[in-house]
Structure 1
């Protein structure tokens, strides 16, 4: 919840407290705490800490071997930790780096995982806009918007609203008008 509120320092503090006695935690819980701490670090503008935490979590990933039914996204989701890194990079304003990671992640995510693919594409489009590549952002947004309309995903809609904000510098340009037309069906009735 502190991440959603943009309180990076509180997220880092909470995760540090959770990891204070990390040896007593199963690897899956340590990975979850580390990736959440990375999100907090991204909110605080600390790229080095983001990379350090995601890299540490990645080294723990092979140790996740329990059969508990909760918290298995780190094993089940292709490129899970790179999804977290790309999200953090996007939050840090590292558009080119985030975009490259989203390309890698999307190559791993099956077409059947439509909601995840749509969210990731919306984030990739936002990364392109942040990297001052508005044409690329709009091209990616076309696919994400189609999925958003078909699935009615609120999460995807939120990501596309973020894209819309990031594209404001081009709102009066042809590319901005194209984006508004593409996103129209997504935001109808919202």
Structure 2
């Protein structure tokens, strides 16, 4: 196999896979590794990548744990340190993980907008979902499971469009399920009459 077109990361992945499964690497990959600086440098790069990824995971968890109790980014930055990442890498990682964590926390918050938007989206989704359900029954002359899935997707996105929150929020999830059940009931009612 020709490994010349592989990126360094792809070459690392191929090498690790060979070592994990057979315990040894084939000559083609070893030759390519030698062409890129030798096995010692290559193994050091693999070890550095593992250490780097472990450090990123540790910092991500640390930032997530801190954002549960604190909502000030600058305050959190004071507590997070790394001997492996550069100052810029650390700052960017902490900022990105803080923003992700805050977005997740805000997504799970139940506010009055969540409840009213869910109710409005529930009715809208139920109507649109039942129309989809009725059309699929007329086309296929029976009820298919994909109709329920389609109805759920319609209900969920109707609610998400209004509330700007995802199904990670229990109110959104329950409203989507209720809208799907409502779509099913309305769809069956209108196709039977």
TM-score (norm. length: structure 1): 0.28
Q: Which has the larger radius of gyration?
A: 2
Give the structure, 1 or 2, with the largest relative contact order (CA under 8 Å, sep 6 or more): 2
Q: Name the structure with the higher helix share.
A: 2
